[in-house]
Amino acid sequence: MDNSSDVLNKYSLLFKGKVRNIYNYSNDKLLIYTSDRISAFDYVFEDEIKGKGLLLTKMAKFWFKKTSNIITNHISEELIDLPSHIKDSCMLVKKTKVLPIEAIVRGHIAGSAWSAYKSSQKINGLVSKKIYKKYDKFDKPIFTPSTKAEIGGKDINISIAEMRKIIGGELTEEIQNMSIKLYDFAYSFAKERGVIIADTKFEFGLDPDNNLILIDEIFTPDCSRFWLYDKKLKELNHEAFDKQFFRDYLIASNWNKEQIMIPDNIKEKIISKYRTAYDLITYET
């Protein structure tokens, strides 16, 4: 069970998300604590996956540092006034104006994109001239935005035209271009280490000068689809090394959208997959 509140209660809790708790740290900074909670199908489970929050935080910090020359992110200085068992699952970040969009980039056809294509032959709302098989790589990454739902709500896929109506044309173009640039960089980086990032999502905000800034998390197993890639054989294994494993378990067990106790072997498998992805991606030769 999460015992972070005993340590973090000196800060004002501003928002409790599906996985993250956001606290007011100072006038211009927030403290983000990544819990061991897990969500699937827009449902948050009370039973936790020990060590998950730590791995997500380490992975996010790794990628924020790797991509800092591409776009400014919200990471501030390191925390020094918290015990290590809490601090390592926390990020001190700059306050931003959060944009109500999830910026999704897909390099391969999988998940909801595959389901939509199977039923309508459409990719991002447009009829595809090309015939795809499941997991096929797109000729170039595609940008498929969605709304950002409140807890318990459902994210809704939207067109780029609809995104323009929500945040304006200039910001839409900047986010689309930046999202694909980030994805292209990470795809090449991870592939060299034996991991394919099939798709991912980003969240953005605006700083006090209205400059675009990367926020939330980046290229973690919670927000990305990871597959293993054998560089020598040039073979792709579509086994999920991300949250898809848990989604598949719920479907196979006929889960009825109620709280459950997650079996220990499933918890162990989830954390093992997350750790494998982290170790491969962050390994330095």
pLDDT tens column, 261-285? 999 999 999 999 999 999 999 997 5
For residue 79, the model assigns a pLDDT of 77
The answer to whether the beta carbons of residues 242 and 221 sit under 8 Å apart is: yes
Pairwise CA distance, residues 136 & 114, whole Å: 10
Q: What mean pLDDT, rounded, does the chain reach?
A: 94
DSSP string over 37-53: -EEETTEEESS--TTHH
Pairwise CA distance, residues 198 & 208, whole Å: 33
Structure tokens at 173: 């173009």
The answer to whether the beta carbons of residues 227 and 198 sit under 8 Å apart is: yes
Q: Which residues of 208-239 are buried (b: 16+ CB within 10 A; e: fewer)?
A: eeeebbbbbbbbbbbbbbbbbbeeeeeebeee
**Domains of the chain by start residue, with CATH:** 4-94 (3.30.200.20), 97-282 (3.30.470.20)
- Per residue in 206-238, pLDDT (tens digit) is 999 999 999 999 999 999 999 999 988 788 999
The answer to whether the beta carbons of residues 186 and 225 sit under 8 Å apart is: no
For residue 143, the model assigns a pLDDT of 98
